[in-house]
Structure 1
Amino acid sequence: MLNRRTFLQKTLAFGAAAAVSHLPARAAWANERDMRLFWFGSPGRAERTLAVARLFEGANPGVRILGEVGGNDYWSKLTTMLAGGNAPDIFQLEPGRFADYAGRGTMVPLDDYLGRTIRTDRLLPGTMKLGTVAGKVAGLPLSNNAFALLYDTEAFEKTGLTPPGRGTTWDDFARLCIEMTKALGKKGVWAVGNAARYSYALEAFLVQRGKRLYGEDGQIGFDVEDATDWYGYWESLAANGGCVSAEVQALDKNQIDSNPMSRGHAVMAIAFSNMLVAYQALQKNPVGITNLPVSEVGGRSGLFYRAGLHFGIARNAPDPELAAKFLDFFINDVEAGKILGVERGVPINLDVRTAVAPTLDDVQKRSFDYVESIADFVGDFPAQVPVGASELEDRVYRTVADRLAFGQISAAEAGQELVSAAQAILSR
């Protein structure tokens, strides 16, 4: 028997007897108003997404949304479907891979639908920049979020240590992590995961230095010294017991449920603000949220608002106008917004944001309030992640950091390796 979690990881379809994953390019029985929707995320996200789809169906008689949830194989599955001409009408992308898929011409540009089918007059100013690649709006940002540090509040209460906050520097954070691991006194439990492999954590570190992970020219925005300093920080923290062992970190598949905090090996996690909801669902203790450490008190925060996620319309979608109508509904309908809450991030429609705020539960409100509270602490929107960035995510960031954690290379060698690999990939 399938439990709730397993069921929601499977293909979900409204009124459809067959699993979407087994559909041919267009099933013979499919209604011409059927539309396939593909996303990844937690069971809670699935429930919210499906509820919005039902709401859309109710407002559009004859339309049926066929929903499919992807797991750890999401990206390989999506790539295979796109290559085989069997792409879902609408699919979800995250910012680190968005430009790659746009660059391959897999999505219908949305420019002709903006202001017409997709209303933009009440969206947060500048939001469409987050969906723009090579001068075209390739996909629709669904929300805003920001980098965040999540922590087990009871762990800090029991140890008597003070949680990090706006004035916590990276040096302060290192000392805190070492103290926390010692104070916990539990074998196999550390203060935090090893974030050397997370490109988004590196980006915050770089922005604090006045640099970027990627520049407007589509190349990396940092040098070997920056990368070496980053790797050196985590190498030292690991050596002093402040972050998890290499063996534990290697089990992290960059999914919430595989993060060391979710598996009980850490009491803090460097993540994104909207992930608080899903992290809390896996924790018995209340999870707090704050900003990442800073290079210096009063300096740049390293924070900026980013697209929580995107939806793109497949290039071969038979009815892109209907798909665009669904995207409009997803971000602009107040009732849809109340269902979605802040699980994907804070709504980008200002009216929806106002309507949603009073409906949030305590956990969602913590995420929402955090994004609102850093308004005076964030910098400009970053340059769009370039084509080739997903290859760096898949083959370089994690690999280099893991080799460092296992002692196979030094921090200096890791820094040189990252920069060389990035330059080679992004210059193709």
Structure 2
Amino acid sequence: MRISRRSFLLGTAGVTTGFALGATGQAAWAVDDVSMRAMWWGSNDRAKRTVAVAKLFHEKNPDITVIGETISGDGYWTKLATAMAGRDVSDVFQLEPSTISDYSKRGACLALDEFVPDALKVDNFDKQLLDLTTIDGKLWGVGLGLNSFSMFYDEAAFKKASIAPPTHETTWKEYADIAVEMTKAAGKNNYWGGPYGARYNYVFDAWLRQRGKTLFSADGSIGFDTGDAKEWFAYWEDLRERGGTVPADVQTLDQNTIESNCLALGKSAMGMTYSNQLIGYQLVSKNPLGITMLPREKKGGPSGHYYRPALIWSVGSTTLYGEQAAKFISFFVNDIEAGRILGVERGVPMSTKVREAILPNLNPTEQKTVKYVNLLKDQVGDYPAPAPKGSQEFDRNVLRTVADELAFGRIKVAEAAEKLVTQGKATLRQG
């Protein structure tokens, strides 16, 4: 492969004829002609898989350069906001279900309909899966895999404690008792049953859906009241006081990354997250992890779960290379060899052709993920309306902040509930 004038030098990593992954977290593939940027967040494992697929893409499309950048945690959204303000969004960038509506309405994304079916092939996708990334009749991104909310647990810790782990039928009351028992049975300092989950918006979402409510309403406001918020916060405060959750100083270490989650840090026996992240969690966990659904309000009641695109590739609205970017996304989700590299780390493939091709060769952890997604088939509800503008600010600046203040004892449950509703409404109005 010939290195062009556009070759990308990465710190001390130097330039190679393949790709380079430097201390900055950036990766580059050097080719001639078109040069595109791709930006995503995630673990080192995700970066390696993405790099490998982009290298494969170059081998089959030697006239296109892809310069990749991986950013950790909430820093990704800060970087994206800065890029939007400067009208310099990456040609290809990663979103998720709760952000695609918001960012498409803010003008960050390019509608992809014009590239279907020539550059972007989606004929192996069920129509309902394409609907997950369609807003106001336009396709703003392509889902990279299917997932849902989930709960992970340390199988060895439960076995050692002789306590039955949670299942897909576990209620919230039963979960609380299990968490308290695990804290006591473990007999270790700085180790607890589970997280202080009051600050997780997707868990609150499921909690509300189990009760016939929603996190956000169809008109773009919040879908719950102070009574719902009070019940939510009271549950977690009661569980914290009983010793079933990590304390505030541990929970606030969670920067929305795998490595900072209390389960991955070895501080708890259970953790709440998204199903596709089992692969990443297992890489940093010394013990085998199990996966099951979030607790539910009552036996046989609604689960609050729904299928969602785990992650999404979108194209930047200011790109000069829309067709090439669409071609890269199409390769990412349709190429069988690319599918084998990616596995299910970004979710179970949405293309039926890719899914069928890779399933026989998945490792045990990946198979757990697929079995979990299949388990949900008769448990999921309807996909919610697109999240409104301001939904990310609600998550980061309102729910997490209020939950942390409560956990540290700075406010009481009733005040936390009132602040969540009042500040939540204000944030969404400003969104």
- TM-score exceeds 0.5: yes
1:9-408 superposed matches below 5 A = 10-15=25-30, 31-72=32-73, 73-408=75-410
Verify the 8 A CA contact 1:8 1:46 in the aligned structure 2. no
Residue 141 (structure 1) shift:
1.6
Counterpart contact for 2:193–2:270, Cα < 8 Å: yes
Asked if the contact 2:89–2:108 (Cα under 8 Å) also holds between the matched residues in 1, the reply is no
TM-superposed CA distance for 1:389, in Å, is 0.3
State whether residues 34 and 63 of structure 2, in contact with CA within 8 Å, keep that contact through their aligned partners in structure 1: yes
Check the 8 A contact 2:33/2:65 in 1, yes or no. no
- Superimposed CA distance per residue, residues 119-160 of structure 1 (whole angstroms, 9 cap, x where no aligned partner): 222213311222123332222221110110000000010000
Question: Could you say which residue in structure 2 is the equivalent of 1:22?
Answer: none
- Which whole-Å deviations, capped at 9, do the CAs of 1:248-304 have from their partners, x for residues lacking one? 111111111001111111111000100100100011100000011010000101111
Residues 208-251 of structure 1 show CA distances to partners (whole Å, capped at 9, x for unaligned) of: 11121112222222111111111110000000000001111111
Question: Could you say what the CA RMSD is over the residues aligned between the two structures, in angstroms?
Answer: 1.6
Structure 1 counterpart of 2:225, one-letter code = D
Residue-by-residue CA offset, 1:51-108 (whole Å, 9 max, x unaligned):
1111111111221211111124211112212322332110111222222211111111
- The separation in 2 between residues aligned to 1:58 and 1:229, in whole angstroms, is 55
Counterpart-to-counterpart distance in 2, 1:380 and 1:154: 35
Are 1:140 and 1:311, in contact at CA under 8 Å, matched by a contact in 2?
yes
**What amino acid is aligned across from residue 74 of structure 1 in structure 2?**
Y
Is the partner of 2:253 in helix, strand or coil?
coil
What is the CA-CA distance between 1:9 and the residue it aligns to? Answer: 5.7
- Whether contact under 8 Å (1:403, 1:409) holds in the other structure is yes
Deviations 1:7-34 (A, max 9, x none): 4761111238xxxxxxxxxxxxxx5411
TM-score w.r.t. length of structure 1: 0.93
CA distance in structure 2 between the aligned counterparts of 1:9 and 1:286, rounded to whole angstroms: 31
1:15 maps to a residue whose letter is A
Q: Could you tell which deviates more after superposition, 384-393 or 114-123? A: 114-123
TM-score (norm 2): 0.92
Task: Assess if the C-alpha contact under 8 Å between 1:147 and 1:200 holds in 2.
Answer: yes
**What is the distance in 1 between the residues matched to 2:22 and 2:248?**
33
2:18 is matched with: none
**3-state SS of paired residue (2:269):** strand
Deviation at 1:307, TM superposition (A): 1.2
1:14 and 1:326 map into 2 onto residues whose CA distance is 13
Unmatched runs of 5 consecutive residues or more in structure 1: 17-30
Q: How many Å separate the matches in 2 of 1:54 and 1:151?
A: 35
Q: Which amino acid aligns with 2:138?
A: K
Distance in 2 (CA, whole Å) between partners of 1:228 and 1:113 is: 47
Larger mean CA deviation between 120-129 and 152-161 belongs to: 120-129
Structure 1 residue 415: deviation in Å? Answer: 1.4
2-structure distance, mates of 1:360, 1:9? 31
The sequence identity of aligned pairs, in percent, is 44
SS in 1 for 2:67: strand
Q: Distance in 2 between matches of 1:93 and 1:12?
A: 19
Aligned residue-pair number: 411
Q: Secondary structure of 1:294's match?
A: coil
Q: Unaligned regions of 5+ residues in structure 2, if any?
A: 1-11, 14-20
Query: How far off its partner does 1:364 sit?
Result: 0.9
Aligned partners of 1:324 and 1:92: how far apart in 2? 13
Per the TM alignment, residue 206 of structure 1 is displaced from its structure 2 partner at its CA by 0.8
Preserved contact between residue 191 and residue 267 of structure 1 (Cα < 8 Å): yes
Give, in whole Å, the separation in 2 of the partners of 1:376 and 1:116. Answer: 35
What is the letter of the counterpart of residue 418 of structure 1? L
Query: Which range is displaced more, 125-134 or 347-356?
Result: 125-134
Alpha-carbon separation, structure 2, partners of 1:174 and 1:372? 26
CA distance in 2, matches of 1:173, 1:48: 35
Q: Is the 8 A contact 1:190 1:265 kept in 2?
A: yes
| 1:144 partner letter | L
Contact 2:72 2:257 in 1 (8 A): no
Aligned to 2:286, the other structure's residue is in SS state coil
Q: Report the residue type matching 2:168 in the other structure.
A: R
Matched residue type, 1:323: A
Moved over 6 A (4+): none
SS in 1 for 2:378: coil
Separation (CA, whole Å) in 2 of partners of 1:47 and 1:313: 21
Task: Give the whole-Å Cα distance in 1 for the aligned partners of 2:139 and 2:353.
Answer: 22
